Amino acid sequence: MTRPLGATVGDFVDKPLDQGGLAWSRPLATAVIAALMIACILILPTESGQAPRGA
């Protein structure tokens, strides 16, 4: 699941605008996707029964 999803997201963000993408450079796309992954790891609960912060 992760390989096809990552390939699809990567293709979308670096594809030219006229082909339906965001036209980001590969380094920028990599940095944004990595930042989103890190944010999800830090924000989402990792143990069963753990409530999100601020709840």
| pTM of structure | 0.65
Q: For residue 28, give the nearest of 13, 38, 50 by alpha carbon.
A: 13
- Looking at residue 15, its pLDDT comes to 92
- Residue 32 clears pLDDT 70, i.e. is over it: yes
Cα separation, 55 vs 38, whole angstroms: 21
pLDDT > 90 in the chain, percent: 35
* Strand boundaries in 1-55, DSSP class E: none
What's the pLDDT score for residue 44?
86
pLDDT-based confidence at residue 39 (cuts at 50, 70, 90)? very high
Mean predicted confidence (pLDDT) in 19-27: 93
50 pLDDT band, cuts 50/70/90, is: low
